[in-house]
Chains A and B, each alone.
Chain A
C-alpha cells in the first residue's frame, strides 16, 4: 500500500540507415522558368520533417533562398528510386542525394549565368537571396530568375541535377566474420524516474532527462519536436501499448481504440533534452538525424527504473500492472534496489 520511486538509465548507439543493397537514395532537381527549383524524391514525409530538411539542404547547396525550393514527394511511381522512409535514414541518405543533385544543378546554373554575363563560371558566386554575381564585383550580377529564363528560352539548357547516395554494400569477411554495415552512428543517453504503486501495480513516469548526439542539427525546432514526440511514444510502448498482450498467444488482442491503450495528454511526463552536435564526416552538412532513437532508450530506462524501485525485472513489454503484481508476488514483496545519483 505504498508508492516506490526508482531511477533507470539507458544509452543507445544508433546506426543510421541500413546495409541492404547499399541503401541508396536518389534525387532529381530542376529549375522552373521562374527561377524556382523543384526537388523530386520518392521517400515520403509522414511528419518527421524530411521535406523541410531536404528543402534546406537543397537551398543551401544551390545557393538560393529556401522559399524558392519546393520538395515534391508525391509519387514513387514517377519519382527517382528510393529505399524508403525508415531506419532513421531520411536526413542522412536523402540529404546526401539532394546535395549531389543540387551541386550538379548549381553547376549548370552558374554556366548559364556566365554565358549571360560573358564571364567565367568559376568566377561566379551566389548570394543566397536569388542573385548571382562576379566574385568581388557585386554589380556584375544577374538574378537566378533571369538566368533560368535565359537557359530555358535562349540557351536551350536545362538547369537540372541528378543525385544518388550509395554506401557500397558491406559483406561479411569469411575469415573474421567482420563487417562494417554502417558509416554513421548517433548516440543518446536517457534517465527516467518512475513511481510504482505496489497495490495497483501502476507505473507513473515522473520525469525524464536525455542527451542526444545527432550530428549537425539541420533544423533545431524539428529535432526537438521529434525527440519530444518520440519520447512519448517510448513511454507508451514501455507501459501501455501492445497488439498482443499475451504474445505469442494472440488472445485478448485489442480491436480498436477502446481496447488499445495509449496515454493521453494527461499522462505525459516532464522531459528535458540536451542536444550535442558531432557532425558526421559523411553526413549532409554533418547531419545524422534523430529518427527512431527518439523512442528507443525510453523503454529500457523505464524497465530499469521499475527494477530500481521495487526489484521486479520485467522482461517483456509493455510493463503492465498485471506483470508488476505477478513479479511482486514471485519476489515475496517489494525489494527496492540501491540508487546512485541523488534523490528523486
Chain B
C-alpha cells in the first residue's frame, strides 16, 4: 500500500514521516522518528508502556493509527525533561526508587503527567486510578504511587491552587 505523509508536533517540534496507512503511532514514533521513549510491550492495549499524550489526552500509541494524528500535538516521555532539568515526576521517581527494570516507566510517567495536568491535587485513589492501565512487573506499585503523590506536592503552588 502506498505510504502517506503524516505531520504532527512531537514534543514541541514539527515532525513529518511517511507511514503505511495501517501503521500505528508507536511504530511511526519508534521506527520513523527515532523516539524510543514509548516502549512496545504488548501491542494490543493491555500494558500501558506505549502511553503518550495526544493533544493533552492520554492515549495508547499502539492502538492509535498514525494517520489519525495529522496536525496533532504529541507529547512523549522523551520531551518531559526541560533540557537538563528533569520534570518533578522524574525526580520523584528517582527519589522514591519507583523504577527497577524501567520498562513500565515511560508509560507510568506519562499516565502520571496526564493526571497531574488535570488534577494537581490527587489523592491516593486518584493515583491508583490513573495508573490502573499500566502493568509493572518489578516495583509492586507502591513506590510509584508514593512518587506520584510526592511529585504533586512539589508542583508550583499556583498550579495546585
* A and B from one complex: yes
How far is the CB of A122 from the nearest CB of chain B, in Å? 41
Indicate if the CB atoms of B140 and A47 lie closer than 8 Å. no
Query: What's the tally of chain B residues with a CB closer than 8 Å to chain A?
Result: 24
Most buried by B among A46, A224, A271: A46
Q: A46-B101, A48-B100, A225-B100 are in contact. Are A264 and B135 (CB under 8 A)?
A: yes
User: Which of the 9-residue segments B42-50, B64-72, B75-83, B150-158 touches chain A?
Assistant: B42-50
B36 at the interface (CB under 8 A from A): no
B138 at the interface (CB under 8 A from A): yes
CA–CA, A271 and B137, complex, Å: 17
User: Which of the 9-residue segments A106-114, A170-178, A227-235 touches chain B?
Assistant: A227-235
A341 at the interface (CB under 8 A from B): no
Task: Digitize A217-246: 1 where CB-to-B-CB distance is under 8 Å, 0 elsewhere.
Answer: 000011011001111110000000000000
Kindly identify which residue among B44, B100, B142, B143 contacts A256, using a CB–CB cutoff of 8 Å: B44
A266 at the interface (CB under 8 A from B): yes
A contact residues around B143 at 8 Å (CB): 225, 228-229
B contact residues around A258 at 8 Å (CB): 44, 46
Query: What's the tally of chain A residues with a CB closer than 8 Å to chain B?
Result: 23
- The residue in chain B whose Cβ has the minimal distance to the Cβ of A264 is B132
CA–CA, A231 and B140, complex, Å: 7
Main secondary structure of the interface of B (DSSP, over half): loop
B contact residues around A231 at 8 Å (CB): 140
B19 at the interface (CB under 8 A from A): no
A18 at the interface (CB under 8 A from B): no
CA–CA, A102 and B135, complex, Å: 39
- The residue in chain A whose Cβ has the minimal distance to the Cβ of B133 is A264
List residues of A whose CB falls within 8 A of some B CB: 46-49, 221-222, 224-225, 228-233, 256-258, 262, 264-266, 268, 271
Sample (30) of A-B pairs whose CB atoms are under 8 Å apart: A46-B100, A47-B99, A47-B138, A221-B97, A222-B97, A224-B97, A225-B97, A225-B100, A225-B143, A228-B143, A229-B138, A229-B139, A232-B141, A233-B137, A256-B42, A257-B42, A257-B46, A257-B135, A258-B46, A264-B128, A264-B135, A264-B141, A265-B128, A265-B131, A265-B141, A265-B144, A265-B145, A266-B128, A266-B129, A268-B140
Closest 10 CB pairs of A and B: A232-B140, A47-B100, A47-B101, A257-B46, A265-B141, A229-B140, A225-B97, A265-B128, A228-B140, A229-B139
In addition to A46-B101, A258-B46, A265-B128, 8 A-B residue pairs with Cβ atoms within 8 Å of each other are A225-B143, A229-B143, A230-B140, A231-B140, A232-B139, A232-B140, A233-B140, A266-B132
List residues of B whose CB falls within 8 A of some A CB: 42, 44, 46-47, 97, 99-102, 127-129, 131-132, 135, 137-145
